[in-house]
A and B are shown apart, each in its own frame.
Chain A
C-alpha cells in the first residue's frame, strides 16, 4: 500500500550528523543538551547540542548542515550491541543494556567512564528492552530469557522478577501511572503487569505480528509506547510475509488500555517496507514513528489517531529509519537512518578496505501549528 494523499504540514530538515558506525537507539538528555545513541559497536555515542535545540539552517531552508554538534567521547563497557538506552523522566539515570545481558546505569551528564552500578549478567543472553517508570523508582528489563526484572535505578538492587508468559520478550513500556508495565514478545503477545506485585492484568495476542516461516520465527512486537494520558498503547512491528529476506508490511496497532480493544490498525507501506521499529507519543496529540525494510526503504511519519494515513512524513527519501527521539522542548526530533555501500560489494576487502554502514542522525523541526485534522 503506497501512502497517498497530500501532507498538510512539513518536516523541516535541520541537520544531519554523520556517525562512525550503525546505531540503534537515540535519546535526548532531559535538558536537551545531549544526544545519546546506542551503538552496534558496543559503545554509547554522545553529542553535545545547544539545549534549545538546533538553529534552523540559513538560506533556502532546504539544505541541511551538519549542525553544531560536538562529538563527545563514547562510553565503553558494553559488549556486542548496545541494545537499549533509556533516561528517567527526571534525568537522573541513564540506563543501558547490551546483547550479552549487561545492564548499566550512569548519570547522563557525567563524563566518567565508569557506570554508577552495573550487572554483567542482568539477563541470560540478549537484553532487549528497558523502561523506567515516571517517578524513577523502578527500572524494568526484559530479553530473550523471557523474564521481566525490576530494579531500583538508584543502586541496581533487584526488586522483583516474573515470567512474562514465555521466551523472547522484545519490548517494554511503562504506563504514565507508574504502576502498569506493558510487555511485548516475539509471537505477538502483549501483556500488562502491575509493577507492585508482578500480577498479570491484561493479555492479548497481536497474531498478525508473527509468522513461522519454515523454521524461522519472524516478526515480534518491536516497540510499545503509551500516549500521554495512558489511555492508548501503541504496538509496533510488521505483518511478516516471509522470513529470510524478511518481507513484511510495517504495522502499528493502537490499543485501548482499558479493555485491550484495537482502536486502529495501520498499514504503513508494502511488503518491502519492513518494520515499524519505534513509535513515540508527541504531546500535541499525535504519534511519531519510524519504519525500515529492504535496504533503501524507510520513512519517518507523524500520525494522528483515527486518521487513515499519516499526516506528515520525511520530505526527502530516508533509508532504513530505526529510531526517533523527541527533543524535550517538543519541537525537534532526531531520526536514525542508514547509509553506506551496497552490502555485497567486496570493496577492497583483501586490502583491508571494507567500510561498514553508518547511521546518520537527521534532525527535523516538527510542524509548528496544529495540523488541520
Chain B
C-alpha cells in the first residue's frame, strides 16, 4: 500500500495562511513578500553544483569501500591520486581527481524513508517550526543574491519532465524555486517566432512593461513582479538557447562525459556553470538498489564516475573550482547487510558524500566508519552540519545569518549543528 505520509510536512504555516489584518500581507499571494528578507550580503560570484543521486548510492560501492570484510561485497578498493585514500574500483576516473575532492564518510542522519528523507536532506532537516524550509538551492540563491549572468539563478537538470518547481522554495516564496529542464532539453517555445523580429520583440516588451507599470499603480507589486520575472527569464533563455544546443557541444566533451543521460546532463551543467548560473542541480534516478545492488552499482557508479571526474577535471582546468562548490550525495546510504535479492537496503546510520571546490579543503577524507561499515566511529555529522559547512564555504556566516519570515527569525541551518572545520579552508 502506498503511503502518502510525509511526516515532516504536516504543518502548514499559519502565518502564511491566516490573512491576519495586523500583518497586512496578502496570504493568498505570497510572492515577493516585502516583509521577507535576509541579512543583506555582498554580491558573490560563488556558484554551486549539486548532484543528487536519488535513491541512495551505496557508500560501500563508492566512497567508503570495505573489501574483504563480511559486508564488503565483491568489489575491490583502489588507490587514488591522494596517498592513503582509497575508493571503490567503480570510481576509477574519480580516483584520479581525488586531489580536488573531500569525502565525508561520517554522515549519520535520522530518516530512512525516501519520501520524507529526500525532502529533509535537501531542506537541511531544520527544527520543526511550522514552516517549510527552502531547498538548499533556493536558500543559496536567496542568500547570495542575484549575480550578473542574467540567467535563472537556480536551474535543475533532470530526466523526464521539466518546468518551474516553486515548491523547492518553501517559505521564501515561489520565485526562489528551481527551473527544471526535463532531460536537459530546453523549454518549449524557446525559439523566437520566425515572423517576429528582434526589434518587434523589443517593442512588444516595452508595451507590455508600460501596461504593467500602469496596472501596478496602487496595487501590491507581487503579480506584476512575478509576471515580469518570467518574461525576462524567458527572453534571457531565448538569447542563451545555444546553451542547450547539443550541436555546439564538442565531440571530445561528449565522448569524455559519456552519451548516457547523466553524462549529457553533467555536460550541460558545466555549460550552465560557465555561463554563470548560480545554482545547478543535476538529478540521477534509480539508485535505490534494494535488489541486485552489485550489478546495479557496477552500472550506476561507473556511469556517475565518468562525467563526475570529467567535470571536476574541467572545472579545475578552467580555474572555476575556486568559485564553484560541488556536492554529490543521496538521501542516505545503503545497509552493510546484503538481503535475499542481493540488494542493500537503506542505511542513514553511516554513509558518505563527496564535495569539492569553493571554500573546501582538497584531497581529504573526513570521518570514519567501523570495520564492517555499520557505524560511524568518528564524530557523526547530520545534514545540518553539512548545511553549515556549505554555507560557510560560500562565505555565508551560517550561525549568525537568519531568515526573516514575516518577523519570525529562522536559522538558516540547524542550530544544534556547526560547520565542520576539517572540511573548510
Q: A residues bordering B, Cβ < 8 Å?
A: 21-22, 40-42, 79-81, 83, 98-100, 125-126, 144, 186, 213-218, 220, 242-247, 274-275, 292-298, 319-320, 338, 340-344, 346, 349-350, 354-357
Q: Is B260 interfacial (CB 8 A cutoff)?
A: yes
- Since A245-B289, A246-B343 are in contact, a sample of 12 more A-B pairs with Cβ atoms closer than 8 Å, ordered by chain A residue number, is A22-B338, A126-B74, A215-B262, A217-B299, A218-B292, A244-B291, A246-B290, A295-B339, A295-B343, A343-B335, A349-B349, A356-B336
Q: Is B75 interfacial (CB 8 A cutoff)?
A: yes
Closest residue on chain A to residue B160 by CB atoms: A214
**Structural contact, A245 and B290, CB atoms closer than 8 A:** yes
A86 to chain B, nearest CB (A): 18
Q: Is B112 interfacial (CB 8 A cutoff)?
A: yes
Q: B residues bordering A, Cβ < 8 Å?
A: 55, 67-68, 70-76, 89, 112, 159, 260-262, 284-292, 295-296, 298-300, 303-304, 335-347, 349, 372, 374-375
**Structural contact, A349 and B375, CB atoms closer than 8 A:** yes
What residues of chain B lie closer than 8 Å to A80, measured between beta carbons? 67-68, 72-76
Given contacts A21-B70, A125-B89, A338-B340, contact A244 B335 (CB under 8 A): no
Closest 5 CB pairs of A and B: A320-B340, A99-B74, A338-B340, A343-B345, A246-B291
- Could you list 20 A-B pairs, sorted by A, with CB under 8 Å? A79-B67, A80-B72, A80-B73, A80-B74, A99-B74, A215-B262, A215-B304, A218-B292, A243-B299, A244-B286, A245-B290, A245-B343, A246-B290, A274-B341, A292-B341, A340-B337, A343-B343, A344-B112, A344-B347, A349-B349
What residues of chain A lie closer than 8 Å to B343, measured between beta carbons? 245-246, 295, 343
**Structural contact, A244 and B288, CB atoms closer than 8 A:** yes
Cα separation A217 to B159 with both chains bound (whole Å):
16
**Structural contact, B374 and A100, CB atoms closer than 8 A:** no
What residues of chain B lie closer than 8 Å to A126, measured between beta carbons? 74, 298
Cα separation A192 to B253 with both chains bound (whole Å):
37
Identify which of B74, B291, B340 contacts A298 (C-beta below 8 A): B340
Given contacts A245-B290, A293-B291, contact A215 B300 (CB under 8 A): yes
**Structural contact, B345 and A344, CB atoms closer than 8 A:** yes
**Structural contact, A320 and B346, CB atoms closer than 8 A:** no
Cα separation A294 to B343 with both chains bound (whole Å):
9
Cα separation A80 to B72 with both chains bound (whole Å):
7
**Structural contact, A215 and B341, CB atoms closer than 8 A:** no
**Structural contact, B76 and A100, CB atoms closer than 8 A:** yes
B35 to chain A, nearest CB (A): 42
Closest residue on chain B to residue A98 by CB atoms: B74
**Structural contact, B296 and A244, CB atoms closer than 8 A:** yes
**Structural contact, A344 and B346, CB atoms closer than 8 A:** yes
A211 to chain B, nearest CB (A): 11
Closest residue on chain A to residue B265 by CB atoms: A215
Given contacts A244-B290, A293-B291, contact A215 B73 (CB under 8 A): no
